[in-house]
Amino acid sequence: MLTHERLEVAGTYLDLKVAAGGRSAAGRTLILVHGLPRAAGMGRHAAGLLPELAEHLAAESGWRVATGTLSGVGGSTGTFSATRWRRDLGRVIDWADDGDARISLAGFGFGGALALAVAAGDERVRGAATFAAPAHLEAWCGSAESLHRRTIDAGVVSTTEDLPAADELLADVLAVAPLEAVTRIPPRRLLIGHGTDDVEVPVQDARDLVDAADGRAELRLIQGAGHQLRADPRMVATLLGWLDRHR
């Protein structure tokens, strides 16, 4: 069963859904991080499958599992920028931190890159898992103008006045710098998952992240899988196994 929280961050509100864990993993919290929608009109649905995934993971692992929508997505207010999303995820970690919590992040797509960046700078995060995360954001973003246009079309903008200008938006996204961030996570636990048939983010990006971490990460390639891994049962099994070894 999911409960609903509403968190305030600098005048915006984030929707957070929480699946309670069990006694077997008391004190452990997993935060699921959605990606940045790239298709027109998908801003309201970018995290659509994650509440169901949170319930399943909590039931199977015993962990408390939280999933929210960051600024401009779903029922959360505000407008996307990488800086805002990092701030938002930090606020969710604040919510999860009771002084003795063991917090881990699992991010999908750009949410995986974001999870690496936040984990790199926050020692409260004990582990990070990514699925289909881009390592090379320059290639993933494309030009400043195309990124700006796709962000508006995706519907993660409350008003265009709140959206940074194209060059500023691109620079802000590139500053997430997953290949640099991943170097600062070990010896904390790190899992890099990717579908071998991902046409949006090449599977080589996963290998490059592991190489950047000096091999101190688990690499799990899901044969025949594409970019959308949130509902893939093999991804779920991979994440559950990682959580079980993360006790």
As beta bridge partners, residue 7 has: 14
Sign of CA dihedral 196, 199, 204, 205: negative
Q: What's residue 49's pLDDT?
A: 80
Q: How far is the C-alpha of 225 from the C-alpha of 235, rounded, in Å? A: 9
Q: What's residue 24's pLDDT?
A: 65
**Nearest one of 124, 176, 167, 121 to 147, comparing CA atoms:** 167
Q: How far is the C-alpha of 56 from the C-alpha of 60, rounded, in Å? A: 6
**Nearest one of 65, 132, 72 to 105, comparing CA atoms:** 65
**Nearest one of 119, 72, 92, 108 to 195, comparing CA atoms:** 108
Angle between helices 144-154 and 166-174 (to 10 degrees): 90
Q: What's residue 229's pLDDT?
A: 87
Q: What's residue 10's pLDDT?
A: 86
Cβ atoms 10, 59 nearer than 8 A: no
Q: What's residue 226's pLDDT?
A: 87
Predicted TM-score (pTM) of this structure: 0.95
Q: What's residue 96's pLDDT?
A: 94
Q: What's residue 13's pLDDT?
A: 92
Q: What's residue 93's pLDDT?
A: 97
Q: What's residue 247's pLDDT?
A: 67
Sorted by where each starts, the structural domains of the chain and their CATH numbers stand as 2-245 (3.40.50.1820)
Q: What's residue 209's pLDDT?
A: 98
Q: What's residue 211's pLDDT?
A: 98
Helices (H) and strands (E) in the chain, counts: 9, 8
Cα 231 to its chain centre, rounded Å, is 15
Q: What's residue 98's pLDDT?
A: 82
Q: Which residues of the chain have pLDDT under 50?
A: none
